[in-house]
């Protein structure tokens, strides 16, 4: 099957689209990348999404849900065109959507008990209508309905791509939030451990945005962070954040490390008379140290650390990671044959593929769900695609 995966992460800077071919040989899917494209959000949209995630009005949520659906559809059509395929050649789209709020700890309600919730926007009906392709979306809520945190979901794809018969591997994704997956030697999905580690690029990006009054969105390549000096007192304070010491399963987002957190950090920076470069250096080191601290919940040996996501291009974070894990080799997804930029989008293509095949792909020991569940809701595409889907099912 040819499947498009669509992903927009916590950084909210655009949509990544990966077109892949997937074949199931025995029990294991085999993924072949075919094309990748990115559709950057219009300049003001990133800030609108950030504000929406903190104090959005229902009319803004309603509008942006459909608007982002249009952009996700454009990203899908862009990668299909880039591959020189036609929409009719594509079997499925898997869309993660854009997370605007995530409440994994939940709230108690009378007569119901604990209610966990999450909200991803980017209307899948719009994607299916614009492309004519059956679209699978809303992957997180079913896991939460089963008692999980709805995250992380990518560990299943990590196991498919990076599992090794003889080497224990810590797979690290540094997006807006950092997360890790430990794959023991020869282990399958049932044996892995995975959880969020804390902020990745999100805090760094927000520091740059706030301190530049919106003139800059991020520290390209970690250049400014590399000019600064790590403040050990502040780093020690950051490492004491309650999320870092919380036992898995655990997941997080802007609700914990968003704008209010960054405003407090900038106030600390001014009070301590640190430069913005010093603060960026300290937070880059914090990202790496937080990932390193994940070893307390890993019982097996780590032979390789494999890093992907946008943070792989931040040289300050990567230099700190290599110090934290020395002498264990720290490799990138690209060095292991996978694109760092495309991997998360590829993961949601894989999740859509397995939903089609009736395969449960949440990882209960990672999310905290009571049992495996089938992820995602299916929005049918055109009648042509429904006929094709039925033929494939036979």
Detail the residues annotated as belonging to a binding site for ATP. 9-16
User: How open is the CA angle 174-38-335, to the nearest 5 degrees?
Assistant: 50
Count the helix, strand and coil residues of the chain and give each as a percent rounded to the nearest 5.
45, 25, 30
CA nearest 367: which of 106, 196, 151, 159?
A: 151
Residues, the chain: 394
Q: What are the C-alpha distances in Å from 306 to residues 163, 195, 312, 320, 328?
A: 11, 15, 10, 14, 10
Dist CA 142 CA 372 (whole Å): 10
308 bridge partner residues: 173
Dist CA 300 CA 311 (whole Å): 25
CA nearest 119: which of 105, 134, 138?
A: 138
Task: Look at residue 300 and give its three-state secondary structure.
Answer: coil
* Direct distance between the N- and C-terminal alpha carbons of the chain, in angstroms, rounded to an integer: 14
- Unique residue bearing structure tokens 């992957």: 139
Kindly state the tokens that stand for 362.
């949440």
Please give the annotated binding residues, written as ranges: 9-16
């Amino acid at each position: 099957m040819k499947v498009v995966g669509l992903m927009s992460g916590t950084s909210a800077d655009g949509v990544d689209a990966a077109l892949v071919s997937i074949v199931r040989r025995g029990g294991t899917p085999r993924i072949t990348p075919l094309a990748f494209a990115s559709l950057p959000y219009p300049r003001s949209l990133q800030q609108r999404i950030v504000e929406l995630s903190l104090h959005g009005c229902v009319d803004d949520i309603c509008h942006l849900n459909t608007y982002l659906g249009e952009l996700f559809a454009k990203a899908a059509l862009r990668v299909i065109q880039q591959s020189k395929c036609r929409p009719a050649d594509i079997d499925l789209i898997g869309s993660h959507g854009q997370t605007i709020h995530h409440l994994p700890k939940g709230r108690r309600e009378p007569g119901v008990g604990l209610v966990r919730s999450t909200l991803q926007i980017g209307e899948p009906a719009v994607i299916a209508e614009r492309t004519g392709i059956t679209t699978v979306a809303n992957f997180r809520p079913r896991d939460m309905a089963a008692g999980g945190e709805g995250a992380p979901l990518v560990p299943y794809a990590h196991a498919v791509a990076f599992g090794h018969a003889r080497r224990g591997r810590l797979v690290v994704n540094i997006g807006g939030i950092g997360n890790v997956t430990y794959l023991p030697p020869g282990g399958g999905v049932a044996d892995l451990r995975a959880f969020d580690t804390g902020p990745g690029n999100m805090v760094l990006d927000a520091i740059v945005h706030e301190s530049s009054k919106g003139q800059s969105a991020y520290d390209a390549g970690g250049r400014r962070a590399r000019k600064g000096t790590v403040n050990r007192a502040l780093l020690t304070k950051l490492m004491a954040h309650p999320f870092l010491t919380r036992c898995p399963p655990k997941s997080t987002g802007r609700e914990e490390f968003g704008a209010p957190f960054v405003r407090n950090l900038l106030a600390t920076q001014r009070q301590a008379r640190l430069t913005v470069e010093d603060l960026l250096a300290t937070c880059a080191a914090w990202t790496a140290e937080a990932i390193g601290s994940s070893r307390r919940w890993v019982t097996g040996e780590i032979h390789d650390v494999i890093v992907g996501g946008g943070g792989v291009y931040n040289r300050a974070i990567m230099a700190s990671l290599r110090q934290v894990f020395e002498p264990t080799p720290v490799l990138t997804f690209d060095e292991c044959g996978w694109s760092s930029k495309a991997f998360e989008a590829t993961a949601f293509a894989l999740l859509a593929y397995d939903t089609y095949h009736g395969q449960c792909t949440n990882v209960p020991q990672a999310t905290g769900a009571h049992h495996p569940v089938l992820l995602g809701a299916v929005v049918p595409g055109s009648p042509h695609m429904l006929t094709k889907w039925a033929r494939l099912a036979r």
